[in-house]
């Protein structure tokens, strides 16, 4: 269910992010140019031929010790490598092998992950081969000359990569639905957890999750199994002094990573904060389904307008997840708590939904007929050739066009809006992958 991970490592400035941008294409990410979320933007979905994977840029591996961030960066690289099916080690062909490259190579040889050696900045084919050849000395096998900027050689590199990436099975269905419960401290996560367990009663024993220390709880309801992810993390909050807030966030992010759907808990008595917005951005970016659960509804003084006003405010402030359904509950009184799983089911169904190519193209054609892509001053016009849903969880549409540059952000948002209007997809993010002819 979770996609295979490809880690990209290498020292700073060799061109890692340029390659990541190329691999992930013109990703119409919902969190596009929002400050604040970009910091967490390390995992990005990509595909090559019929395979899907997630690319992680480890963020510039450095081994000197002159910065307080180094241990953190290295730690992140180790985590990324542990998760990865395969890693691309990128070096700079114009500079040639450096001492740091050799050091990283020696370290990588100890890691239990296959490594592909990409020699970047090899724009000229003949020179490139010579430049690449120098890197045999790293002892990591064949160096592949590539140019992240121009794209030359990257196809060969990706073909090699596919040996390590299993084909995507479109029919993957597991019986259980994996649910992460996320939200700021004190919004009522553990109260809700207890309310769920009380309401559903059919609690099975806690089981160990795959991430170290994570304890999941399995609940059954109407014949459907739900795995509530890292419930230990929710409870442990109480007894442990966390120090930096980061740890809790990190833990929540890990839970989201393992989930199909996130129950995003909000406190009806509190304002929505920047932290909530970051969480929303992360959920959207990770492509998880989501249900907004506004808790403590018992304590809100209400009139007929309250719920709509509140709903409006939530969607406005949490626009990254404005496709999610919102439900107003009370863990304290149990009000509507048993409805939460109905919303979970709906969101998961949409998350796994597949729309036929005919329908996808119909939506795109209607959208283009209604509002054609603006032409450039030179009279060049964006053309859409074909569109198809390439994956589910979340629903992802590849849109094949003459030139991606002719489709600006506002047009992309327009098309995404058309997909929502025509096809719904309530509860799940959707993705548009823009692919040019070359
Ligand atoms: P990172 O720090 O490893 O992520 O490197 P960046 O992707 O930010 O690239 C560092 C610099 O190298 C930038 O100035 C890029 O424009 C340049 N660069 C990246 N890829 C290539 C390439 O294929 N050829 C050339 N000549 N320069 C490149
Ligand atoms: P967590 O930190 O997100 O796990 O939050 P808790 O479950 O520990 O709840 C934090 C506080 O909010 C506690 O004092 C709870 O009693 C209170 N609380 C939780 N749910 C509700 C609710 O539905 N209504 C009211 N009025 N208070 C609640």
Q: Whose CA is nearest to atom 10 of ligand 1?
A: 13
Rounded to whole angstroms, the Cα distance separating 397 from 73 reads 33
Q: Give which of 437, 411, 291 is closest to 351, Cα–Cα.
A: 291
- Residue 221's alpha-carbon distances to 198, 226, 227, in angstroms, are 12, 8, 11
Residue 242: the pLDDT is 43
169 vs 79, residue with greater confidence: 79
Q: Which numbered atom of ligand 2 lies nearest the CA of 333? A: 23
Among the bound ligands, the one closest to the CA of 93: 1
- Residue matched to tokens 């479109």: 170
The answer to whether residue 171 scores a pLDDT higher than 90 is no
Q: Give which of 230, 194, 198 is closest to 211, Cα–Cα.
A: 230
CA of 364 to the centre of ligand 1 (A): 35
CA of 435 to the centre of ligand 1 (A): 22
Mean pLDDT of 176-194: 91
Q: Give which of 59, 63, 50, 101 is closest to 81, Cα–Cα.
A: 59
What are the pocket residues of ligand 2 if the criterion is a CB atom closer than 6 Å to any ligand atom? 183, 185-191, 234, 237, 295-296, 298-299, 330-332
Q: What tens digit of pLDDT does each residue of 220-239 get?
A: 888 888 999 878 767 654 44
Mean pLDDT of 357-373: 92
Among the bound ligands, the one closest to the CA of 181: 2
Rounded to whole angstroms, the Cα distance separating 422 from 436 reads 25
Rounded to whole angstroms, the Cα distance separating 226 from 252 reads 18
Q: Which numbered atom of ligand 1 lies nearest the CA of 148? A: 23
- Give yes or no for a contact between 176 and 209, defined as CB atoms under 8 angstroms apart: no
What are the pocket residues of ligand 1 if the criterion is a CB atom closer than 6 Å to any ligand atom? 10, 12-18, 60, 120-121, 123, 147-149
Does 70 appear as a known binding residue? no
CA of 264 to the centre of ligand 2 (A): 14
The answer to whether residue 347 scores a pLDDT higher than 90 is yes
Residue 200: the pLDDT is 53
Among the bound ligands, the one closest to the CA of 234: 2
Q: Are strands 325-328 and 384-391 parallel, antiparallel or unpaired?
A: unpaired
Mean pLDDT of 129-152: 92
Does 13 appear as a known binding residue? yes
- Give yes or no for a contact between 424 and 350, defined as CB atoms under 8 angstroms apart: yes
Among the bound ligands, the one closest to the CA of 57: 1
Structure tokens at 223: 């014949």
* Mean of per-residue pLDDT scores for the chain: 82
Q: Which numbered atom of ligand 2 lies nearest the CA of 187? A: 3
Does 14 appear as a known binding residue? yes
Question: Among residues of the chain, what percentage have pLDDT more than 90?
Answer: 43
Rounded to whole angstroms, the Cα distance separating 334 from 43 reads 37
Does 296 appear as a known binding residue? yes
The answer to whether residue 434 scores a pLDDT higher than 70 is yes
CA of 166 to the centre of ligand 2 (A): 43
CA of 187 to the centre of ligand 2 (A): 6
Mean pLDDT of 102-110: 87
CA of 9 to the centre of ligand 1 (A): 14
SS (H, E, C) the chain: CCCCEEEEECCCCCCHHHHHHHHHCEEECCCCCCCCCHHHCCEEEEEECCEEEEEEECCCCCCCCCCCCHHHHHHHHHHHHHHCCEEEEEEECCCCCCHHHHHHHHHHHCCCCCEEEEEECCCCHHHHHHHHHHHHHHCCCCEEECCCCCCCCHHHHHHHHHCCCCCCCCCCCCCCEEEEEECCCCCCHHHHHHHHHHHHCCECCCEECCCCCCEEEEEEECCEEEEEECHHHHHHHHHCCCCCCHHHHHHHHHHHHHCCEEEEEEECCCCCCHHHHHHHHHHHHCCCEEEEEEECHHHCCCCCCHHHHHHHHHHHHCHHHCCCEEEECCCCCCCCHHHHHHHHHHHHHHHCCCCCHHHHHHHHHHHHHHCCCCECCCCCECCEEEEEEEECCCCEEEEEECCHHHCCHHHHHHHHHHHHHHHCCCCCCCEEEEECCC
Q: How many CA atoms lie within 13 A of 126 on its CB side?
A: 0
Report the predicted TM-score, pTM, of the whole model to 2 decimal places: 0.62
Mean pLDDT of 397-418: 90
Please name the residues in contact with 218: beta carbons below 8 A apart, sequence gap of 6 or more. 176, 203, 204, 205, 207, 225, 226, 227, 228
Q: Which of 43-47, 60-64, 348-352, 388-392 has the lowest mean pLDDT?
A: 60-64
């Amino acid at each position: 269910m979770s996609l295979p991970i490809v880690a990209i490592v290498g020292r700073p400035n060799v061109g890692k992010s340029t390659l990541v941008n190329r691999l992930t294409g013109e990703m119409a990410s919902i969190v596009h140019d929002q400050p604040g979320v970009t910091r967490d933007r390390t995992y990005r979905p990509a595909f090559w031929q019929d395979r899907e994977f997630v690319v992680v840029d480890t963020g510039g591996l450095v081994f000197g010790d002159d910065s307080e961030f180094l241990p953190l960066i290295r730690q992140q690289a180790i985590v990324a490598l542990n998760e990865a099916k395969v890693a691309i080690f990128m070096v700079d062909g114009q500079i040639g092998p450096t001492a740091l490259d050799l050091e990283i190579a020696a370290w990588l040889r100890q890691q239990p992950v296959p490594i592909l050696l990409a020699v970047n900045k090899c724009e000229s084919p003949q020179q490139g081969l010579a430049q690449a050849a120098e890197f045999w000395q790293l002892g990591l096998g064949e160096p592949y000359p590539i140019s992240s900027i121009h794209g030359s050689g990257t196809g060969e590199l990706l073909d090699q990569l596919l040996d390590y990436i299993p084909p995507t099975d479109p029919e993957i269905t597991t019986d259980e639905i994996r649910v992460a419960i996320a939200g700021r401290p004190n919004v009522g996560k553990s109260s809700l957890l207890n309310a769920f367990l009380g309401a559903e009663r059919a609690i099975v024993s806690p089981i160990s999750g795959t991430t170290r220390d994570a304890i999941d709880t399995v609940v059954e309801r109407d014949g459907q199994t739900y795995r509530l992810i890292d419930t230990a993390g929710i409870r442990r909050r109480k007894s442990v002094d966390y120090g930096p807030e980061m740890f809790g966030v990190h833990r929540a992010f890990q839970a989201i990573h393992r989930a199909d759907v996130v129950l995003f808990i909000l406190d009806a008595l509190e304002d929505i904060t920047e932290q909530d917005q970051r969480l929303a951005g992360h959920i959207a970016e990770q492509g998880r389904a989501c249900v907004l659960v506004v808790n403590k509804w018992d304590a809100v003084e209400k009139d007929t307008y309250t719920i709509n006003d509140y709903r409006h405010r939530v969607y406005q402030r949490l626009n990254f997840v404005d496709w999610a359904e919102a439900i107003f509950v009370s863990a304290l009184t149990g009000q509507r708590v048993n409805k939460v799983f109905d919303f979970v089911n709906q969101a998961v169904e949409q998350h796994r939904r597949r729309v036929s190519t005919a329908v996808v193209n119909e939506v795109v054609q209607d959208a283009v007929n209604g509002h054609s892509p603006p032409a450039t001053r030179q009279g060049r016009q964006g053309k859409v050739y074909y569109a198809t849903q390439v994956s589910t969880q979340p629903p992802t549409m590849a849109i094949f066009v003459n030139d991606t540059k002719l489709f600006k952000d506002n047009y992309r948002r327009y098309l995404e809006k058309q997909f929502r209007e025509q096809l719904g997809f309530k509860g799940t993010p959707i993705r548009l992958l823009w692919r040019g002819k070359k």
